[in-house]
Homo-oligomer: A and B are copies of this chain.
Amino acid sequence: MTTASTTAQPTSSAAPNGTRELAEFVVRTRFEDLSTDLVHHVRRSTIDCLGVALGAADHPSVQILLDTIDTLGGHPQATVWTTARRSSVAYAALVNGHLAHVLDYDDSYMPEVTILHGNAPVVPAALGVGEWLGVSGQAYVEAFALGFEVEARVALSAGRAHYGQGWHVTSTVGGLGAAAAAGKLLGLDEQQMTYALGIAGTQAGGLSEVLGSMSKGFHPGRAAMNGVLAALLAQRGFTSAEDILTGRRGFHYAFPSDRDIDAMVGELGRRWELRRAAFKAFACGIVVQPMIDAIIRLRDEHGVVAADVESIEARVNPTVLEPTGKTDPKTGLEGKFSVYHTAAVALIDGAAGPAQYTDERVLDSNVIDLRRRVRIVTDETLRKDEANVTLRLLDGRELTRYVPHGIGTAENPLTDEQLTRKFRSLVEPVMGPARADELLATLNRLEQLPAIGELTGLLARVSA
């Protein structure tokens, strides 16, 4: 069979170029275009991101990354958070992005079709490049808002098809957000921004197979570094695809994707996906948090202790078992991906913070005993932020609690006060209460800071 071919489809055709639409949006939008509630949201995002990142200071994976970047070297351009180091904007982004995600306690953007933890790739890129360039708080807010918006819209567009196939969304789209944020601060023009997204997009990757290992936190670290590198290259004239996103062999065609292009480029500047980001109440995968909320309410409302419980049954959205189906976790990190461990510690401890995801807690015999009596029923009629939990007690009673929107979701967000409490609980053990106060005071006037260095200087470890 032969086919004569006379035409190719070069990228210069008249088809809509989704990448250029995003690039144009990023280049033209200014701080003045952001409403007060968006600026407030950026402040909340930054507080949450820095809290969970600083709280991860002593995770063993962090020391390995530090040793590696020390081995490779780099100019001291940006603070490596929780250390006395400054490194290049690339490696600072790598470590800081990892710090911001490794506790699995960072923000969640969770429309029906996807899940993204958008802060970990973008805050490190924007803060690091901003620190290096000596920009103002307003410039940081602008860059973060735009970077987050780019990655969230690509995630939304890629949707269920993307999320369901083994791709870690935070990783695949994060580099695009980081490139947009870094590129905004570097003052890229529309063509350079298009190429920056191209260079970031062609580095996109990140397999869910690594969930439960140190490589999960590495994903947004790598994405942050990819984005910074992409913006630096594009600024200097490095070329890439004219349309990495909607081009024929681009992101939405090579990766599985719903290709909801309108979700990606519709209503730019009017619809802000950033408004839908929420902050976690518990230090584990977002999909199990409505269940935790229900278990803790039952425990607290009825004074239930583990010794009373015959079994725990939780009805949840089917996405819960995909990432968190580990029945027999061996490490703290694996525990975050075990809905069984999570249910057990939520009932025993009434909490699901970093202390519930240590190796010791995962191997505790009481926890193991209870987690064997956890039963998960998936129910497609439940949304991802819903859960229905029944405790069967040894005395024959059954206690049931339905949670329509788990705490820490967009419909039931942490208050500013709860967010501050979360920040303190994570930062004080690492930095001390005085530094935590100072950080919060600085963060609360984020958009008024003449120089973002006033904030980033406080992210260095006090004594180390």
Which residue numbers of A lie inside 8 Å of B, CB to CB?
1-12, 60-61, 64-65, 67-68, 71-75, 77, 88-91, 165-167, 171, 195, 198-199, 201-211, 213-215, 218-219, 222, 229, 232-233, 236-241, 243-244, 247-251, 253-254, 315, 318, 321, 325-328, 375-381
Q: Which residue of B lies closest to A205 (CB)?
A: B205
Pairwise interchain contact B213-A240, C-beta atoms closer than 8 A: yes
**Chain B contacts for A5, CB-based, 8 A:** 321, 325, 376-378
CA distance A253 to B250 in the complex (A): 19
**Chain B contacts for A244, CB-based, 8 A:** 207, 209-210
Q: Which residue of B lies closest to A247 (CB)?
A: B209
Q: Which of B10, B73, B209, B241 contacts A75 (CB 8 A)?
A: B73
CA distance A252 to B254 in the complex (A): 14
**Chain B contacts for A213, CB-based, 8 A:** 195, 198, 239-241
Pairwise interchain contact B207-A205, C-beta atoms closer than 8 A: no
**Chain B contacts for A219, CB-based, 8 A:** 202
- Shortest A15–chain B CB gap in Å is 13
CA distance A244 to B214 in the complex (A): 13
Interface centre among A11, A202, A244, A376 (most CB of B within 10 A): A202
CA distance A378 to B241 in the complex (A): 26
Pairwise interchain contact A208-B325, C-beta atoms closer than 8 A: no
Copies of the polypeptide in the assembly: 2
**Chain B contacts for A90, CB-based, 8 A:** 72
Pairwise interchain contact A10-B238, C-beta atoms closer than 8 A: no
Say whether, besides A198-B213, A207-B250, A4 and B375 are in contact (CB < 8 Å). yes
Pairwise interchain contact A248-B204, C-beta atoms closer than 8 A: no
CA distance A169 to B209 in the complex (A): 20
Say whether, besides A5-B325, A254-B167, A379-B2, A73 and B61 are in contact (CB < 8 Å). no
- Shortest A455–chain B CB gap in Å is 23
Q: Which residue of B lies closest to A207 (CB)?
A: B202
Pairwise interchain contact B74-A72, C-beta atoms closer than 8 A: yes
**Chain B contacts for A4, CB-based, 8 A:** 375-378
**Chain B contacts for A11, CB-based, 8 A:** 209
CA distance A315 to B4 in the complex (A): 9
**Chain B contacts for A381, CB-based, 8 A:** 1
- Given contacts A64-B237, A208-B249, list 8 more A-B pairs with CB under 8 A: A10-B326, A65-B233, A165-B253, A166-B249, A201-B207, A211-B249, A214-B238, A215-B240
**Chain B contacts for A89, CB-based, 8 A:** 72
**Chain B contacts for A77, CB-based, 8 A:** 72
Pairwise interchain contact A240-B68, C-beta atoms closer than 8 A: no
Q: Which of B6, B202, B377 contacts A206 (CB 8 A)?
A: B202
Pairwise interchain contact B2-A209, C-beta atoms closer than 8 A: no
- Shortest A154–chain B CB gap in Å is 13
Pairwise interchain contact A214-B202, C-beta atoms closer than 8 A: no
CA distance A91 to B72 in the complex (A): 9
Q: Which of B7, B232, B248, B318 contacts A3 (CB 8 A)?
A: B318
Q: Which residue of B lies closest to A73 (CB)?
A: B75
Write 12 A-B pairs (CB below 8 A) sorted by A numbering.
A2-B377, A3-B377, A3-B378, A5-B377, A12-B328, A68-B233, A72-B74, A74-B88, A195-B213, A202-B210, A207-B244, A209-B249
